[in-house]
Amino acid sequence: MEKFRLFLLDADYVLDKNEYPVIRLFCKSKEGKDFIVKYRKFRPYFYVLSKPEKENELVEKIKNAKIEGVKEIDAYITEKKFGRETRKFIVVTINNPRKIPETRKFIKDNFDEVEDTFEYDIPFYKRFLIDFQLRPADWILVKGEKIDEDTIEAEGIQTIEENLPEPKLKMLAFDIEMVEENSKEKIIMISLATNNGFKKVITYQHSDLEYVEVVKDEKTLLKRFVETIRKEDPDVVLGYNSDLFDIPQIKQRCESYKIDLNIGKFRERLKTARRGRETSYKIPGRVYVDLYRFVANILSPQLKSEVLTLDAVANELVGMGKKDLSWQEMSEIWKSKSDITRIVEYNLRDSEITLKLGELLVPQIFAISKLTGLLAFDVSRYAYSQIVENYYMRNAFKENIVVPNRPKYEEIYSRRLEASYKGAIVFEPKTGLAKNIVVMDFRSLYPTIIITHNISPETFNCEHEECKQKNKVPEFNYHFCIKEKGFIPKYLEKVILRRIEIKKKMKQLDKNSEEYKMLNNMQYALKIIANSTYGYMAYVGARWYRKEAAASTTAFERYYIRKIEEMAKKEGWVIIYGDTDSLMVTNPNIEDPEKVKKKALEFLKKVNDSLPGIMELEYRGFYPFGIFVKKKIGSGGAKKRYALLAEDGSLEIRGFETVRRDWCQLAKKVQRDVIEIILRERDVDKAVKYVREVIKMIKNREVNYNDLIIYEQITKPLSEYKQISPHVVAARKMHERGKLVGEGSIIAFVITKRGSSISEKAEPAEDATIEDIDTEYYIKNQIIPAATRVLSAFSITESELLSGVKQVGLHKFFKKN
């Protein structure tokens, strides 16, 4: 028997000829050699909870059950944790993983002794990874025999705890181009690029470029694509929106040409993996990642980009965008049989930036894999809820806890009908220009509350009198057990502590070092779990659902932030603003910034001494100036909208039109400039003059057309809108003109002179010019509101911006400076 240290990349299973499962692990050795590890001793199973005292009877009945397609069935009793109690469960094992649903149904339908069934919907490969606690994108130790060049028959498999460096992985990105000819779409070009420097474009029109391979037709193009992938033999295959576009197109064409799409590591065919409504594809033995899905599911909230196109995302993340070439131009070049260099370069660039994105994102995906035990394939396609859930599922196994069932449709429906609960506190800001602001915030507020107060579905309202006294939830008649650590807090704490540890380590490292990058990816993965656990417990689709747990978390938030507010006020601080986990304060009695900071640190120490558990309030920064504005309707200050000037001169702008997608670029720029003039120069007059100048330019149409485009998303089918807003009208016009628009499309439109209501005047951006623009609208509904929002805090009104009447005495707002 030999031992192999291998890096685990992917897993699946096949059936042997007797319909027994063979787990296959796709691995790489340190030297870069590929292996398939086969393991035959693992069987699919699920749990049956019997009615009390009926276990033995039920076991016998199950053992003797005859179920179609199931060759072998076995059952035995085990104990598992179920909520707060430990109960007997029957483990039902069969030979064929595909028969688990039928087996479960048979047992449920035929035996009255059955109370419930569990863990019947965990895919077999995932079951294996959980039970063996294997981590994809990490090293495993395999004991077994090498039966041929690249196959190992394993006797035993386990993880390796040492931190070995990753083997060098080969990544390949690809992209296709299509053109419509005689109302039929054809693939005209495919580009491929790898992180070894390989690049190739395959097409069937002439080109002299050395990396272009010219073939005779579409069919040969596809054949060469298959051969090239096989020859390059990548570990990771990358596309951008390829699950929805490139792969289905390639697949369909290959089918019609009867080309075997066997691009798997060991010449296996591309597989379709259907999950609910979404379709994805597996390339057996390779990690195939559609980067768009990861970006859309996981990364999008933290991106500044307004759209998730490859161009925008790559520009933001790797500083490289697409080449400029419109679909029409491409079509014309191709059909006119002229020089295709531009298409070739455009096509190759797409693969190159996809590759660059992959080099950045695949390590992030791998870090999440390592933490959750999910295959990179799954991580890259899962939503937040799925990623957290799988983290807890894998740890439930360690704790011998039965995984709660996924809610059925009716359950989800009734959960939806439950009333929502109160959230966090948002303070009403003091409007105007603020000075010497100290910002403090809680480090991971919700996670630390959950951990400190042991908030978990099963610790909720335990029977102990003591817990009722010592761990009561503010505002509610709820409490959480303190006798035993809850499952969720236990594993959430591991996440938080590990993240703190990693962040500490990172501080000592060079930011460009490989180790720093690796740790950064790991802390990012941990952050995802930490930040989504609270919301997950209130998510209607969650297995570990307990709305009261989430409601209690926010109740504690309100309690603590109020408590700190009180402490701060007592010490002479003025609360300028605060949202959920942050407080912005100033001390009107102290002028010297250094003294303010010092005093703030003393205050923080006092607060932290009073906070329980691992809760901690941190110093986030000092800001010489800030703007807080009035609400447009009603009285008082507007929450969630402010701008701060940091000591290093940078601006932090939140909530304002400037940071919103649904305002035209020009309005956003004007507002940002106004904020800057006020914060940096504290000169309201200058800001007013500037706005008047812009208004004049609009009147004269001396502005850039593109800066007038408004972007808004279509969030449901066009027919379902009750209120027909401008963006809906623009979308309908696009639809009528043969454009593809639907749920999720971001509509680019402008407001023109044609029509009476604003909606009627909305026109798709591509169908209008600067001459069509309704300048009145842009002045009154874009520039003026955006500028007034900020300037009204300094008593400037709309009419003053419009009239051009010179105001006097504005400086009074800034006497001191």
User: Of the candidates 582, 745, 752, 775, which one interacts with DNA according to CB under 7 A?
Assistant: 582
Instruction: Give me the least distance between CB of 478 and DNA, in Å please.
Output: 16
Which 461-500 positions form the footprint of DNA (CB under 7 A)?
none
Backbone angles phi, psi at 57, to 5 degrees: -55, -45
| Nearest residue (CB) to DNA, 42 versus 120 | 120
CB of 111 to DNA, least distance (A): 29
Residue 800: both structure tokens together: 């003053």
Of the candidates 534, 525, 566, 537, the one whose C-alpha atom is nearest the C-alpha of residue 449 is: 534
Q: How far apart are CA 30 and CA 7, in angstroms?
A: 8
Which residue, 49 or 674, has its beta carbon nearer to DNA?
674
Is residue 368 within a helix (H) or strand (E), and if so which, with residue range?
helix 341-372
State in angstroms the smallest separation of the CB of 406 from DNA. Answer: 10
CB 29 within 8 A of CB 49: no
Residue number with CB closer to DNA (311 or 579): 579
Member of 64, 328, 420, 512 binding DNA (CB under 7 A)? 420
Least separation in angstroms between residue 318's CB and DNA is 22
Amino acid at 251: K
If DSSP states are collapsed to H, E and C, what string results for 703-771? CCHHHHCEEEECCCCHHHCCCCCHHHHHHHHHHHCCCCCCCCCEEEEEEECCCCCHHHHEEEHHHCCHH
- 49-88: contacts with DNA (CB under 7 A): none
Shorter beta-carbon distance to DNA: residue 230 or 639: 639
Question: Tokens in use for 38?
Answer: 């086969």
Contact positions with DNA (CB under 7 A) in 662-721: 662, 711-716, 720-721
Question: Which CB, 139 or 288, lies closer to DNA?
Answer: 288
Cα atoms in the 13 Å half-sphere on the side-chain side of 515: 10
Establish if 640 lies at the interface with DNA (CB under 7 A).
Answer: yes
CB 669 within 8 A of CB 660: no
Q: How far is the CB of 466 from DNA (least distance, A)?
A: 30
Q: How many residues contact DNA, by CB under 7 A?
A: 74
Of 426, 433, 500, 509, the one binding DNA by CB under 7 A: 426
Binding pattern to DNA, positions 379-408, x when CB under 7 A? --xxxxxx-x--------------------
754 binds DNA (CB under 7 A): no
The distance of closest approach from Cβ of residue 46 to DNA in the complex, given in angstroms and rounded to an integer, is 18
Q: Residue-wise over 490-522: b if at least 16 C-beta within 10 A, else e?
A: ebbbebbeebbebeeebeeeeeeeeebbbbbbb
Q: Which of 235, 290, 579, 673 binds DNA (CB under 7 A)?
A: 579
- H/E element holding 34? strand 34-39
To DNA, the closest distance from the beta carbon of 358 in angstroms equals: 22
**661 part of the interface to DNA, by CB under 7 A:** yes
CB 474 within 8 A of CB 559: yes
- Residues in 724-753 at the binding interface with DNA, rule: CB under 7 A: 724-727, 746
- Rounded Cα distance, 581 and 716, in Å: 33
- Measured from the Cβ of residue 574, the count of other Cβ atoms closer than 10 Å reads 15
Contact map string, positions 434 to 453, toward DNA, x by CB under 7 A? -------x------------
Name which of residues 297 to 336 contact DNA (CB under 7 A): 301, 306
Q: Count the residues in the chain.
A: 817
CB of 794 vs DNA, minimal distance in Å: 15
Phi, psi of 143 (to 5 degrees): -105, 130
Q: What distance in Å separates the CA atoms of residue 522 and residue 503, rounded to the nearest whole number?
A: 10
Q: Which of 33, 41, 146, 422 binds DNA (CB under 7 A)?
A: 422
Q: Which of 129, 333, 376, 550 binds DNA (CB under 7 A)?
A: 550
As measured in angstroms, the least distance from the Cβ of 717 to DNA is: 11
Q: Tell me: does residue 560 bind DNA (CB under 7 A).
A: no
The binder of DNA chosen from 22, 318, 590, 758 (CB under 7 A): 758
127, amino acid identity:
R
CB of 752 to DNA, least distance (A): 13
Q: With binding defined as CB under 7 A, does residue 421 bind DNA? A: yes
Measured from the CB of residue 417, what is the shortest distance to DNA in angstroms?
Answer: 12
State the nearest-atom distance from the C-beta of 722 to DNA, in Å. Answer: 4
* Cα distances (Å, whole numbers) of residue 223 to 9, 188, 227, 257, 416: 27, 13, 6, 10, 50
Q: In the set 535, 593, 621, 624, which binds DNA (CB under 7 A)?
A: 535
From candidates 197, 276, 738, 809, binder to DNA by CB under 7 A: 276
3 state SS of 273: strand
Binders of DNA among 178-237, rule CB under 7 A? Answer: none
The CA-CA-CA angle for residues 63, 67, 73, to 5°, reads: 35
